[in-house]
Structure 1
Amino acid sequence: MTVYNINQGIGWASSGVEYAQSYRGKILRELGIPAKFIFTDIMRGDNIQEMTRALDFEDDEVIWLYRFYTDFTIEPCSLREEDIAPSFPEGDYTVNVISPGKKQYVYKDDNRFLTIYFSRTNTDKVCKVEFVDSGCLIRTDYYTSGKIFSEYSAPFEGQARVYMRRFFNRDGSTAFEEYLTYTSNKDLWEKSCLYKFPDGIFYSKMELAEDFMKKLPLEDGDIIIADRTTLMGQAIFKHRGNHKLGVVIHAEHFSESLTDEDNILWNNFYEYPFHHSDEVDFFITSTEKQKENLARQFEKYFNRKPKIVAIPVGSLDKLRRPEKARKPHALCTVSRLAPEKHIDWVVRAVVEAREKVGDLTLDIFGRGVEEKRISDLIKENNAGDYIKLRGHQKMDEIYKDYSGYIAGSTSEGFGLSLMEAVGSGLPMIGLDVPYGNQTFIEDGKNGYLIPYPDGGVLDSKALIHEFADRIDKLFNEDHVSEFSMHSYIIAEDFLTEKIEKKMKTLLEEL
């Protein structure tokens, strides 16, 4: 039996879905069950192997849609600059080192230059090379142990747009080509894709996805788990054969404000499998509360009782206790720096609370699109001495140094960082929202759940004040020790051995 897990993309600032897959991979390895992790998005910034390895996936476990049709494997970058230099255009040039990971060849005779990007993890190995002519990006080559694909670009409404990608085999022959067309509008979105193979053409990525599912080497007893179905849903359902199919629910699955007694508005990420739930062998939620809610809704709106199991998307290998005293009055928060995480609320709350907790500090771990805005907010409040952006770090042994955890998110399907925080005995502060906060924070026992308005106008200033009040209450009323003890009690249910047992029971039943 092999478990095939299907997702879209992965990155350096991955979402909880990728971390959930990473945890599942560890559990399946412990159980001795082979697993494959499929990614279907084009990934151009870095070698996919570096990003999957960073989340502890084994190279032979990873299947990338765009490499599936070539004879390259998932592997690290291994070519040096001198290995690929013979393929560079001829002519006199000067070399400029822009940064440790970036170097430019500037040609003297005309307006041409190329930029070499080196691997983040193998810093003397080439990841990609961009070619610019007359101020226009015309080609980008991507490398591992050879050139795996090239992108060809042309100006489109003032920007370089990729119009074709050519994917190669190890001998340099073309495995297939992808052609892209664009609509002329404000957002310049990709209108359509065409895939040309030596023996045929696919006229959309959906057609390619269906072909991929047909060629996936599934054997009797294999199980398919869909973590994301946005592109692959129809292809998976159509070509699953007689293999068992499961769908994982990673977030809130419906819109409460747009649901009434007669109709429910599903989260669009899950709408397709929910409407075809009679073809799904099992759904996996992260928490018991979400399982109960989903089961009730399926029966009410669809008159169906599908198999739903609650298996946390993460686990704790052990409870981590500090070897020395925790930093006093030190909060941390860990997440993607994205708008929905509301790190800005947390920053403002800490600034306010410091008036009563004079040595209060906050460390923010993670990266994302909000990083600059949060950095600017810290500067505006002259808080740089006690609020720090710490970037993306492996957090296992870091939580236990702190004396509290704070989360501003208004929705967490599970909350891996919440689990890891209670596993290190941190008192918790967060909003009373489904499902992660309600799972890991027991109000008045290991922290505080702040009431969140159900509909109506959101008063962010009032919420920030509530956060500041709970910070003051936590540290000035001396609840830290007793809250810490109760966090460890909650964490007991999420030890790896218990989660392994749940996963093993499910797979045996299937």
Structure 2
Amino acid sequence: MNVYSINKGIGYASSGVEYAQKYRKELFENLEFDDYYVFLNYLSKNIAVYTDLLGYRHNQVLWIYNVLSHRPTQATTFTVDLFLEKFARETYEILNQTSTSLEIKVTGTQRYKIWLLKDDLIDRVDYIVNGHLVNVSHYDRSLNNIEHFSDGQLVRRTFYNLQGEKSFEQFYTDRAITVTFIDNQILYGKMAFYQYFFKVLQLEKEDAVIIDRPLDVIEGILPQLADQVRLFSVVHAEHYNESLSKGSHILWNNNYEYIFENAESFEAIIVATDRQNQILSSQLRKKTMIKTIPVGYINEISRKRSYHPYRLITASRLATEKHLDLLIKAVVDAKESVPDLTLDIYGEGGERSKLEALIQKYDASHFIKLCGHQDLSQVYPDYSGYISASTSEGFGLSLLEALGAGLPLIGVDVEYGNREFIETGENGIRFERTPLRDMPEQLAKAIISFYEQQLDKKGRVVSKQKAKAYLKANVAKRWQDLLEKGNELNEN
């Protein structure tokens, strides 16, 4: 049996879905099957740059464009010197050079802008004529693909095999796939392209396919895969809109709606908490097995006892939906009552510059810091508590990591992770969800109450006790039971 986890894209600022797959990969390491991770989106950077950061082996990573080009996932080794060899008989002039790019002029109005990864390794090369972008060449160990532009719009991509021969071409309108020419076949649209890819994979009946990002994917591949492989889907977020659901009319999260409408095609739908299992089981008209498997795990429970009083931590993508701006305002307000209070924010994302500006606005840079990406396993125990302002966490991997470090928690009273991990007055505080305009006040009150009740001290024992269920061996056993004994469980 092989196990394939299906995603769309990946990048530097990975979301909870990518980290859930990372944890799953680690849980599968000692189980008796091979696991692969499929990525379906076009990526402008060598996928190995991103997957290396999460610890994937290259032979586990199946990027659709590499597979169909008969290329392995591989590190970038193509250098500036190799690229410049093509101009050995021509003169070129270096116009500009930085640590991240090199711009050269060849003849007339032709220019090349070479974008670098590190150590003179080439990421991509822009070919510019008369100030207009003509094409972009992407490299790993050799030329991987070329993007062709007309009037500034992407019109075509050409993909190459390891011998430098053209493998296939794909055409676009408004960046959407219109037609693919491959292996003497013409594939119209994105779904036909996906279907061809899964045909090339030659999946066996006993293979398991785990869908992590179904939106705009599952509609195309379900008819091909149903009854041909063992199908699973993982729910990574709130699966429905509670406020807009009335009686038997459920307004599903559109990411999972097609899954739920075709639930009978799946051997199991996997959720992260027992509470979500109960709710979804009561709502599904078309029944299938619903299994609770946490999306993450912890290796060990921290034994460290010393920590910095009044020092809070949060970790997430720097994204709007995490409401870090409201958290910053709450910490500023709470500091009036808790003078030694500090907050460290870990993670990267598109909101970084806005958050930096907000910290400056409140003159808070001496007690609120953006700390970027770091391995937090040894960092969490130094803090007195973990805090989150997110109102839409399906599970909350960073919450779990903090729990394993023995941290008491502060979070909004929402499904699912917060209610799974936080017992108000025992190992933290769940504060009432309010309109966003009122959240800073609610958060500030929760912070003040947290320290007044000395939950930073009392809550550590409770958090460590709760964390035991999420030890690696316990979570791996759940996956093993599902994948290796799934048919037997279904019969029972």
Scaled to the shorter chain, the TM-score interval is over 0.9
Cα distance in structure 1, aligned partners of 2:109 and 2:308? 56
Partner residue, 2:450: 474
Residue type of the partner of 2:166?
A: T
Partner residue, 1:311: 293
Contact 2:346 2:372 survives alignment (8 Å): yes
Residue type of the partner of 2:92?
A: D
Q: 2:463 aligns with which of 468, 487, 500?
A: 487
Cα distance in structure 2, aligned partners of 1:38 and 1:296? 32
TM-fit CA distance, 1:95: 4.5
Cα distance in structure 1, aligned partners of 2:56 and 2:177? 32
**Cα deviation code 1:488-510 (max 9, x no counterpart):** 11111100011011111111123
Contact 2:395 2:417 survives alignment (8 Å): yes
Alignment of 1:214-363 (within 5 A): 214-240=199-225, 241-298=227-284, 302=285, 304-322=286-304, 325-363=306-344
Q: 2:360 aligns with which of 374, 379, 384?
A: 379
Does the residue aligned with 1:254 lie in a helix, a strand or coil? coil
Partner residue, 2:100: 101
Cα distance in structure 1, aligned partners of 2:71 and 2:87? 23
Residue type of the partner of 1:128?
A: R
Q: 1:427 aligns with which of 408, 412, 425?
A: 408
Give ranges in structure 2 of 5+ residues lacking alignment: 488-492
Give the paired residue count.
484
Cα distance in structure 2, aligned partners of 1:13 and 1:343? 16
- Further displaced range: 328-337 or 476-485: 476-485
Partner residue, 1:185: none
TM-fit CA distance, 1:191: 4.9
Cα 1:69–1:328 shift into 2, 3 Å: same
Cα distance in structure 2, aligned partners of 1:207 and 1:479? 55
Identical-residue share of aligned pairs (%): 35
Q: With the length of structure 2 as denominator, give the TM-score of the two structures.
A: 0.95
Give ranges in structure 1 of 5+ residues lacking alignment: 183-189
Q: 2:126 aligns with which of 111, 119, 130?
A: 130
Partner residue, 1:146: 142
Contact 2:31 2:480 survives alignment (8 Å): yes
Cα distance in structure 1, aligned partners of 2:51 and 2:7? 12
- Further displaced range: 286-295 or 23-32: 23-32
Cα distance in structure 1, aligned partners of 2:394 and 2:87? 49
TM-fit CA distance, 1:228: 1.3
Cα distance in structure 2, aligned partners of 1:305 and 1:220? 22
Cα distance in structure 1, aligned partners of 2:386 and 2:409? 5
Does the residue aligned with 1:79 lie in a helix, a strand or coil? coil
Residue type of the partner of 1:483?
A: G
Contact 2:212 2:233 survives alignment (8 Å): yes
Q: 1:504 aligned to 2:485?
A: no
**Cα deviation code 1:235-257 (max 9, x no counterpart):** 33222243211111001111112
Q: 1:445 aligns with which of 417, 426, 450?
A: 426
Does the residue aligned with 1:12 lie in a helix, a strand or coil? coil
**Cα deviation code 1:459-486 (max 9, x no counterpart):** x343211211121222244221111111
**Cα deviation code 1:327-386 (max 9, x no counterpart):** 221111101111111001110001001111112111111111211111111111011111
Residue type of the partner of 1:475?
A: Y
TM-fit CA distance, 1:208: 0.6
Q: 1:24 aligned to 2:24?
A: yes
Contact 2:42 2:65 survives alignment (8 Å): yes
Partner residue, 1:163: 155
Q: 2:114 aligns with which of 104, 113, 116?
A: 116
TM-fit CA distance, 1:153: 1.5
Contact 2:412 2:433 survives alignment (8 Å): yes
Alignment of 1:67-86 (within 5 A): 67-86=66-85
**Cα deviation code 1:404-438 (max 9, x no counterpart):** 11101001111100000111111111100111111
Cα distance in structure 1, aligned partners of 2:12 and 2:87? 29
TM-fit CA distance, 1:64: 0.7
Residue type of the partner of 2:81?
A: E
Partner residue, 1:187: none
Contact 1:357 1:476 survives alignment (8 Å): no
Contact 2:204 2:228 survives alignment (8 Å): no
Does the residue aligned with 2:149 lie in a helix, a strand or coil? strand
Contact 1:101 1:123 survives alignment (8 Å): no
Cα distance in structure 2, aligned partners of 1:446 and 1:106? 63
Contact 1:213 1:235 survives alignment (8 Å): no
Q: 1:390 aligned to 2:386?
A: no
Cα distance in structure 2, aligned partners of 1:32 and 1:280? 22
Q: 1:175 aligns with which of 167, 171, 181?
A: 167
